[in-house]
Amino acid sequence: MLLFILIISGLATATVVIYYQVLRLLWITIPKLQVRHRVRVIIGVFGTICAHLIEVWIFGLAFYLMITCGDFGTLEGRFEGSLTDAVYFSFTNYTTLGYGDIEPDGQLRFLAGMEAITGLSLITWSAYSMFMEMMKFWEE
């Protein structure tokens, strides 16, 4: 169980750090671009979406590896054991959409919970960052 706690803590930490670095890179680079402010906002939105995609794939890969290489549990329901299914589950979980057609079992339930709270936090962070950038646009 200790190994599992270290793994999920490491995953959450890694995804937050990656997201922070992508956001920092965007916010350093975008103001230097010689384009209209609207275009900078659009670049920021697509940049944050790309960052979220990276996090979803990291969690999806973790689910897949923990199912195939470890004894941490499984995904049940319409899960056929593929990486694509694991990433699909990760998408629905990260966004807290949760269709319910695939459900975690065993210790993977804790990873799913960690991913959901991480995804919710990072999506909220994106919304706040985009709002702050739009405030600059509205003030012009």
22-75 per-position pLDDT tens digit:
999 998 998 898 988 888 889 999 999 999 999 999 999 999 999 999 889 999
Does residue 70 contact residue 19 with C-beta atoms inside 8 Å?
no
What residue segments make up the domains of the chain, in order of their start? 2-139
pLDDT at 14 over 70: yes
pLDDT at position 139 over 70: no
Residue 104 has a pLDDT of 96
What pLDDT is attached to residue 86?
97
Mean pLDDT of 6-33: 93
Instruction: Report pLDDT for 132.
Output: 83
Residue 85 pLDDT greater than 70, yes or no: yes
pLDDT attached to residue 36 = 86
* Tally of CA atoms within 13 A in the half-sphere of 19 that contains its CB: 24
Report residue 125 as tokens.
């962070």
Whether 30 and 43 have beta carbons less than 8 Å apart is answered as yes
Total-model pTM: 0.91
pLDDT of residue 140: 58
Phi, psi (degrees; rounded to nearest 5) at 73: 125, -165
Pick the CATH number of 2-139 from 1.10.287.70, 3.40.50.300, 1.10.1020.10, 3.40.50.620: 1.10.287.70
List Cα–Cα distances, 14 to 20, 98, 139, in angstroms.
10, 23, 35
